[in-house]
Amino acid sequence: MNHLDKLEAQSVYILREAYRDFRQLCMLWSIGKDSTVLLWLARKAFFGHVPLPLVHIDTHFKIPEMIQYRDRMAMEFELNMIYGENTDAVERKLSFPDGNTDRITCCRNLKSEALKRTLSGEWPRWRMEHPTGRYVLDESREPYTGVIVGVRADEEGSRSKERYFSPRDTENCWEVGDQPPEFWNHFKTDFAPGTHVRIHPLLDWTELNIWEYIEREEIPVVPLYFNRGQGTRYRSLGCWPCTTPIASESETVADIISELCEGRLANIAERSGRAQDREDAGGLETLRRVGYM
């Protein structure tokens, strides 16, 4: 068993533990490389079928190719695909691209608040109708209390403080200093009623592991990750007004693996292209404490 086999086995184990212990369970899909690997692992864990909803938060500012990829894969994998949004903030243009907020407030409006109200069922959710490929209003408003997320500890500082099973309060707020210990693969999955729990099966994976696994499994990812003749590619995907590509000649998965192994990106943060991370000194942890994914 090599290192990828061990990571895969651990993640599959956590996915199955979550599915056994949480009745209202869903998985977030940002459409990026990490959550796409997580989706692939879920298909393996449950023998080709993903038995839980995939939830995406649509900010209306995602790069169009990401949405096209989401819907194409949802049809191909026959996913129970759901999206939610902050309709009020979108209609009132309470966003950074519209010039009415800073980037952090925009993330809170279009991502954190939309995620919280979508998971709780307080706001409408839209579900893909497979015969037509269109989204229709989801009649179910039952809250999701367990949420699987493709967070990696090495991606940035606040994520290194996570647990595999991480409780949040009823407002999705995260108390970083008050989390259950996890020793020797013993996980706490029994929480008080009403607790919102984030589950992180990819915590031990690195950026290099992700790309090695994508290469081994031949997982389709958004082409935005590759240089398409401009000498740039996206290393981390987000909303187009706040996400910029990095200088890179990598045109294939193998090229990206070589780029990482040779250390060409060793002194550049993976999320260096995400402008909201530089908006305040607390960076992403400020957002994640109040419910950001």
pLDDT, tens digit, 9 for 90 and up, residues 31-74: 999 999 999 999 999 999 999 999 999 999 999 999 999 999 99
Query: What homologous superfamily does CATH list for 3-205+278-290?
Result: HUPs (3.40.50.620)
- Residue 125 DSSP one-character state: -
pLDDT tens profile 165-199 = 998 877 778 787 788 888 887 888 888 877 889 99
- Residue 239 DSSP one-character state: B
Backbone angles phi, psi at 222, to 5 degrees: -65, 130
**Helix/strand/coil percent split, the chain, to 5:** 35, 15, 50
Angle at alpha carbon of residue 238, lines to 15 and 269, rounded to 5°: 85
Q: At what angle do helices 3-21 and 33-45 cross, to 10 degrees?
A: 70
Q: In the block, which residue shows the tokens 């000194």?
A: 281
pLDDT tens profile 63-121 = 999 999 999 999 999 999 999 999 999 999 999 999 999 888 899 899 999 999 999 99
Cα–Cα distance between 40 and 46 in angstroms, integer?
10
Is-contact 97 61, C-beta < 8 A?
yes
Angle at alpha carbon of residue 275, lines to 272 and 280, rounded to 5°: 105
Distance of CA 54 to CAs 77, 83, 154, 198, 254, Å? 11, 8, 24, 14, 28
Cα 6–chain centre separation: 22
The domain locations on the chain are 3-205+278-290, 207-274
